[in-house]
Chains A and B, each alone.
Chain A
């Protein structure tokens, strides 16, 4: 099974029944499958922070939403993560491609990429790093556990998932 299909199956297995997305090149295969399968309601949003709001409202209505986004969107969402979902104790799943890290070729991605994990730590948003095919199998248990604990979780998808070999970029 290819990585994108494996990720899709893991999302389904997690019980996620609403996906709010801002696209990323690393997520294009997964987004295509989500659209084609048409099994999980999928809404394209204009900005990640908006997704946090929609996800919070969907949770109030009994759904299990996830926001599919690039890590750059974390910066757009921090106030909503702190003063909406953490303030009201609303658990949301973030599924985030990690740009600006291993194998990144676009310099502009580096500044956010380098601080993403420490930002998550700083805002007390727990994360799980998925950097190999074998770890995709852990996603559904991680999500279900966090739903039970009523805690948000950021699933960080690394570029290594799609390519065993990657070029390291020298940031100058």
Chain B
């Protein structure tokens, strides 16, 4: 199972969640599979996707927030796990697709392909629920069961990318349509 296979499962269960997606090929894969105004595609500032999701979750407590992060990216901002765990938002699910590699830049290995276990770090940081998924057919049942609270879902995947085009949206348009979707403005 590669990241693109994980996304295929995730888009099957997305309903009205606000999705903040990691930069690079992850955002392109999501855009290719299921673009929606409620997707915020990151295009720069690697590492900050979970921080953006935290800021959104405390500001829109009535909405469900899904953050799709990667292992290389979260390793750049491990402090974020500690802040999220301590703030304890009631509506945030952090989904990390852990393929043990920096896939957008040529599949160089990350530390999670060796000794680092993100689920243990997340537990130590205070997330309420921790799940680790190894098989593709476990993804949909698990995501359907996710409730309120501050949840950490690690999906173990193989390195590799789908061949997808760049996202043809200006970042300001991504922001504007995302904000309008929160306010229910078409």
Contact with A57, one of B47, B53, B82, B86 (Cβ below 8 angstroms): B53
Q: Is the CB of A53 within 8 A of B175?
A: no
CB-based nearest B residue for A49: B48
Q: Are A46 and B83 in contact (CB under 8 A)?
A: yes
B43 lies within 8 A of chain A by Cβ: yes
With an 8 A cutoff between CB atoms, is B79 at the interface? Answer: yes
Nearest B residue to A83, CB-CB = B44
Residue of A nearest to B172 (CB): A89
Chain B residue at minimal CB-CB distance from A41: B58
User: How many A residues face the partner with a CB closer than 8 A?
Assistant: 32
Chain B residues in 8 Å Cβ range of A45: 79, 83
A47 cross-chain contacts in B, Cβ below 8 A: 77, 79
Give Cα A79 to B45, complex, Å. Answer: 6
22 A–B pairs (Cβ distance < 8 Å), ordered by A: A18-B55, A18-B59, A43-B87, A46-B79, A47-B77, A49-B47, A50-B80, A51-B51, A53-B48, A53-B51, A54-B51, A56-B52, A59-B55, A61-B60, A62-B60, A63-B55, A65-B55, A84-B42, A84-B45, A87-B44, A89-B171, A90-B175
Residues of B within 8 A of A (CB): 20, 40, 42-45, 47-60, 77, 79-80, 82-83, 86-87, 171-172, 174-175, 178-179, 182-183
By Cβ-Cβ distance, the 3 closest A-B pairs, closest first, are: A57-B55, A61-B59, A83-B44
Interface residues of A (CB under 8 A from B): 18, 41, 43-47, 49-63, 65, 79-80, 82-84, 87-90
